[in-house]
Amino acid sequence: MAWYLTEQTRLAIRQDDLVLLDLVQGTYACLSGAGAALGRVTEAAEVCGSDPDLAAILIDAGALSDAPPPSLKKLVLPSLPRRDLTAVPRSPPQPPDLAALARAWAAMAHRYRGRSFAAILAAAQDDGREPAATPSARAQALANAFQVLRPWIPFQGLCLYRSFLLRDALRRRGEAAWWVFGVQTWPFEAHCWLQIGDVVLDDAAERVAAYTPILAV
């Protein structure tokens, strides 16, 4: 039997564990040992599973439905990145990149600070541009400029803040990137990063390889 994710829920199977993400609250739930009970999720948000009792519990919790969501877009999860920009020589930031980063940082006051997780995701929704198959020289230069400036950026340890800021700056320079959220269990941890193709822009490929993607916007 098939069930469907609701518009507010995303799901990931990590080994034997089932992880749910509530897009409204920004909270995660991990069901240990339930990974085999619900199988893969299709691009149409269909969840192929074999445990109707678990599905009934998740339907009551608002995570699943027995009908397709009316307005959910196709679910896309890019493959984990295999490369990063650590080997790319870093040059001094150029004026256009500095301007894009400054405008993005100024916009954080009304697009990020004090906003709910749902509002942050809504503010980050793409404008119809698909990320390229590989990062352009301009995207790499901006990502490298961001890394050079990171020590002076407030809240640099928060991956959500960092990725939101860089993604906004990239869009101001005409570049689209996937904003990917991933999870790991035992111990549980959530993380997010930006990637274009198989290249992670704001992290190390070795680090993000430890996570299972659950959401990409």
Domain that holds residue 51: 2-65
Residues 30 and 113 placed together within one structural domain of the fold: no
Q: Is residue 75 part of a domain?
A: no
How many domains, in total, are found in the chain?
A: 2
Query: Is-cis flag, bond preceding 187, omega within 30?
Result: yes
pTM above 0.85, yes or no: yes
Q: Cβ-count burial of 54 within 10 angstroms (0-12 exposed, 13-18 middle, 19+ buried)?
A: middle
Go through 102-129 and write b for each residue having 16 or more CB atoms within 10 A of its CB, e for each that does not.
eebbebbeebbeeeeeeebbeebeeeee
CA 6 to chain centre: 18
Is 77 part of a structural domain of the chain?
Answer: no
83-84 vs 199-200, strand pairing mode? parallel
pLDDT tens for the chain, 217 residues: list them: 679 999 999 999 998 899 999 999 999 999 998 888 887 788 889 988 778 899 999 999 999 998 888 877 788 899 999 999 987 777 788 999 999 999 999 998 888 988 999 999 988 876 667 899 999 999 999 999 998 888 777 665 589 999 999 999 999 999 999 999 999 999 999 999 999 999 999 999 999 999 999 999 9
Query: Is 93 inside a domain boundary?
Result: yes
64, 58 contact by CB (below 8 A): yes
Euclidean distance between CA atoms 204 and 197, whole angstroms: 14
Question: For the CA atoms of the chain, what is the radius of gyration?
Answer: 18
